[in-house]
Amino acid sequence: MLAKRIIPCLDVKDGRVVKGVNFVNLRDAGDPVELAALYDREGADEIVFLDISASVEGRATMEEVVRQTAGEITIPFTVGGGISRVDDMKRILRAGADKIGMNTAAVLNPQLITDGARSFGSQCVVVAIDAKYNKAWGEWEVYTHGGRTPSGIRALAWAKDAERLGAGEILLTSMDADGTKDGFDLQLTSAIVDVVGIPVIASGGAGRKEHFYDVFTEGKADAGLAATIFHYKEIAIPELKRDLKDRGVEIR
């Protein structure tokens, strides 16, 4: 079994880290370069940056933030948001990112996953899936455009397609759990893990140390990602890792 990973997520808007609940009501959480460097020192296994600025200026800002961060950290980091072409991927990887996350662009143009994997290797391609439970279906639906647009696509089928097209990893966010601190969506996470053979990063809902234990054991996730609890010092990464090791979870 691969060692589990702890990954802080930084939602970056106009060069600042922000955080909300259920994808809305954003508040400032600090400087992304400083936060990334802090998490590196604290023992985070990776960092994820999500550019939530829709504008061209936001993407230009993000490229500079990536470049500055790459000079400050030694752990891998993934950058997503505003990636719609292979050239965008190349630009962000050249700025210093290790992996590229794609969500809306991959749904609208699945060939982008394959093109990215062929150009840079599957290990660089992370397909982000924002999923929300659809009661009528009795299953989860993929949402795009920062969680605003229902796609009509079933999340389990899309996860399988993403792997087949060349994704090396799935970043799975439960929109129902996001920002609630009530725990990861274990049912959704384990359902996705069961249908793919690539690593799954669980995101959305972390509030206590036990939630990470649950998502690694019951949810069977390869990594646990969180934002609020790390940004506002509710849980320290070294303390979280010690707790998981004490409970028998193999951690990096």
85-143 pLDDT per residue, tens: 999 999 999 999 999 999 999 999 999 999 999 999 999 999 999 999 999 999 999 99
Q: Is residue 167 part of a domain?
A: yes
State which H helix or E strand residue 212 sits in. Answer: helix 209-217
Q: Is residue 158 part of a domain?
A: yes
Q: Is residue 126 part of a domain?
A: yes
Q: What domain count does the chain have?
A: 1
Phi, psi of 43, deg, nearest 5 = 100, 15
Rounded average pLDDT over 193-204: 98
Instruction: Tell me which residues are annotated as active site.
Output: 11, 130
What is the pLDDT of the chain when averaged over all its residues?
Answer: 92
Q: Is residue 252 part of a domain?
A: no
SS3 162: helix
Q: How far is CA 177 from CA 136, 164, 180, 209, 226, in A?
A: 19, 27, 6, 16, 11
Those residues whose C-beta lies under 8 Å from the C-beta of residue 31, and which sit 6 or more positions away, are: 16, 17
Q: Is residue 242 part of a domain?
A: yes
Q: Is residue 217 part of a domain?
A: yes
pTM value? 0.94
Q: Is residue 251 part of a domain?
A: no
Q: Is residue 15 part of a domain?
A: yes
The domain that holds 73 is classified in CATH as 3.20.20.70
Note down the domain range covering 237. 5-246
